[in-house]
Structure 1
Amino acid sequence: MEESPRVLALTPFSTDDLVLQALNAGAGGFLQKDLIAGELAAAVRALAAGGLVLSPGIMKKLVSRAPARGAGFLGEKIRTLTDSERDVLALIGAGHPNQSIAETLHLSLASVKTYVARMLARLGLENRTQAAILAHEADLVSA
């Protein structure tokens, strides 16, 4: 089965609706054009490796726009995860692709893919973007 191409949206605009439309249409990332040298190349490499690529400002917008969920709700969701799934979620929230997660946690790529699939199912999430937002809301991502 051939894998779909990964799309990175690059724009001078970052309205909430535009970002959400691009991500809902399947974009693997959304960056503003005010990048510094080397950031675009790094973003393309991260996207090609399966990572989620979002400008920090855009991630903040998405997190702030997400429905307010109390700490109890998030804690309950996070408690359903194994330690390994929680570690994977934190790295997804930090924008790491599967290969980087595997290297960081000393796991096989197949194991990381299994953890991601289980974690998404357990949390009732559809994609890595939702997982990244949840990781930020739950303060799993270190600054």
Structure 2
Amino acid sequence: MTITVVVADDQELVRSGFALILDTQADISVVAEAGDGHAAIEAVRAYRPEVLLLDIRMPYMNGIDAAQVVCAETDTRVLMLTTFDQDDYIYGALRAGASGFLLKDVRRDDLVHAVRVVAAGEALLAPAVTRRLIDDMVSKRPRKPHVGLDLLTARERETLMLLGRGLSNAEIAAAFVVSEHTVKTHVSNVFAKLAVRDRVQAVIAAYESGLIRPGG
């Protein structure tokens, strides 16, 4: 199955370079390019790609604002690109609904891998990096309730806690002594009840509500 991608970056050479790299892959097809946030949104609305490769700093509308619109309106998964690895950019992108974050000096193979990972429904950041980042960001912000947490069963809460520790579905299945299919059902239920798109969004909600404590 081919993964459809829209590439959005205000620098034409960068945009074209990423598009060329991705288009050479047998399982990836770049269906459109965009030079600003507004154009990125319109391209997603027109082509409904599986992945939007989106620069954070662009004219007219920045990538984080564009990601919020795309994630609210569509099922397209957003992979953010930037030359800046500042915490606020990363956290802003994740809070907007992005499923991954890469610096523009990413290696060719890592870019391709990132698109495949995000398209498969996983968060791009490695578990240890995800936990460290969320620990740091959430510890600086006040707790806030998340209504969806009250809807989780005891097993779904346990699943969410293990997601927060960075465990994969296979590792959670081993911990619960159940099938991986059963874990996938638990994870899907967590996403649905919390109204989130992926693991990172679910874990952020758990940290912000206090279910998971930074450093715990």
TM score, norm. by length of structure 1: 0.61
Q: Which runs of 4+ in 1 moved over 4 A?
A: 1-4, 22-25, 64-68
For residue 118 of structure 1, what is the aligned residue in structure 2? 189
Structure 2: where are the runs of 5+ without partners? 4-49, 51-78, 103-116
Return the letter of the residue paired with 2:99: G
Write the distance in 2 (CA, Å) between the matches of 1:66 and 1:124: 21
- Counterpart position of 1:62: 137
- Are 1:98 and 1:113, in contact at CA under 8 Å, matched by a contact in 2? yes
Higher-Rg member (1/2): 2
Taking every aligned residue pair, what percent have the same amino acid on both sides?
A: 28
Distance 1:2 1:119, change over 3 A: farther
Question: Hey, what's the Cα distance between the residues in 2 that align with 1:55 and 1:118?
Answer: 21
- Asked whether the equivalents of residues 88 and 116 of structure 1 are also in contact (C-alpha less than 8 Å), the reply is yes
Give ranges in structure 1 of 5+ residues lacking alignment.
Answer: 31-46
Distance 2:2 2:162 in 1: 26
The question of whether the paired residues in 1 share the 8 Å contact of 2:131 and 2:164 is answered with no
TM-superposition CA deviations, 1:90-134 (whole Å, max 9, x none): 101111111111111112111111111111111111211111112
Q: How many residues align?
A: 124
| Cα distance in 2 for residues equivalent to 1:12 and 1:94 | 26
Give RMSD over aligned pairs.
3.9
Q: TM-score, normalised by structure 2?
A: 0.43
Determine if contact 2:131/2:166 at 8 Å carries over to the other structure: no
How far does residue 139 in structure 1 lie from its aligned partner after superposition? 2.8
Q: Is residue 136 of structure 1 aligned with residue 207 of structure 2?
A: yes
Corresponding residue SS for 1:58: helix
Q: Does 1:26 align with 2:26?
A: no
